[in-house]
Every structure is written in structure tokens, then in C-alpha cells.
Amino acid sequence: MESIEQGREEKWKGKAIAEVKGVKAEEVWPLLEDFFGLNKWFPTPLCIPVEGLSGQPGCVRFCAGFKTPVDDETKKTVNWTKQKLLSIDPSQWTFTYSIVEGNVGFHSYIATWKLKPTPEGTEIQWHYEVEPVEGWKLEYLNTFTDKGLNAMAKKIEEGLKTMETALKFHN
């Protein structure tokens, strides 16, 4: 008798890493722990609180308007996901969330974001796993997360440096 599990593919696992140069983890963390503020830094046009308090386990955000690697120019529907914060540890600069609903084909998606101090600044690590997504290849997901995280790191770096410069000239 064949096991049901034999027919299932292994979960896809990946990791994206981006560096925020010249900025300490203590400065980056408050921007990341604002779970409902993802669209301030990540290239997701919309992030709306659905339930709970931002940064508290169990809170849920609705993210929409992003492009995926399999979208063509004629696509009329808006991509969206609901994401639930599972755990957060400010002392370790880490949080884990899951996608609980959406229309982009992600099932059993769980991700952990972690900050790691480096000699040059702060590394943001995004570890994720998901059941294989219909119509996608793992490389598409890796490219999507890598591009998004690098854009986010650059925006955070520029924002914090702008603030630092502005405050320096204010005093």
C-alpha cells in the first residue's frame, strides 16, 4: 500500500539576505517589528491591520498590490495575502509569521525574519518554507524575496541616514 505522503513534494525552503549598511540592528528593529507597517519599507503598496495589535502574536495584516514573478501584464486581479504574526522576540531581533489566506497560491507558508549585526551594519535574513506553488519554480520565489528584501534594506538605509543627517543639521 502506497503512503499518501509519497506523492507529495517536499516543502520549498529558501533564504534571502540583505545588508543595511552603516546602521545598527537596534535602529532597524523598530521598523521591522511594526508588523502592520510593512508597506513603509517593503515594495508592497498596501498593508492594512485586520486584527490585533501590531507586533503582538496573533495579529493579522492584509497585504496587497504586489507583483509576483508569474504575473503577466494583462492580469486584472490584485494579488493579496493575509499574514498572521506567530511569534516575536525583540531580544533576538526575530519574528515568525504565516500566510493564512490569499490568492497567490501559497499554502503552509511560514517565514522568519531575523536581524544580525555585521561589521558593516545589519543583515536582514528572511527564511521561508512553503508547499510548492502551482505555476511557480522555487527560483521564482527566491528571486521575488531577494529583490523585495534588497529594496527594503536600501529604503531603510536611506530613511535612517536621511533622519540622521536632518537631525545633525537641526542641532
Say if residue 4's pLDDT is above 70: no
pLDDT band at 83 (very low <50, low <70, confident <90, very high): very high
Residue 1 lies in a domain: no
Residue 171 lies in a domain: no
In whole angstroms, how far apart are CA 87 and each of 22, 30, 41, 118, 136?
28, 16, 21, 24, 28
Residue 137 lies in a domain: yes
Residue 170 lies in a domain: no
Could you tell me the CATH number of the domain that includes residue 30?
3.30.530.20
More confident residue, 119 or 44: 119
Residue 4 lies in a domain: no
Backbone angles phi, psi at 42, to 5 degrees: -90, 145
pLDDT digits (tens, 9 = 90+) for 19-37: 999 999 999 999 999 999 9
94 touches 112 (CB < 8 A): yes
Count of structural domains within the chain? 1
Domain span at residue 63 reads: 10-164
The whole-angstrom separation of Cα 95 and Cα 37 is 14
pTM of structure: 0.89
More confident residue, 6 or 149: 149
**Percentage, residues of the chain above pLDDT 90:** 79
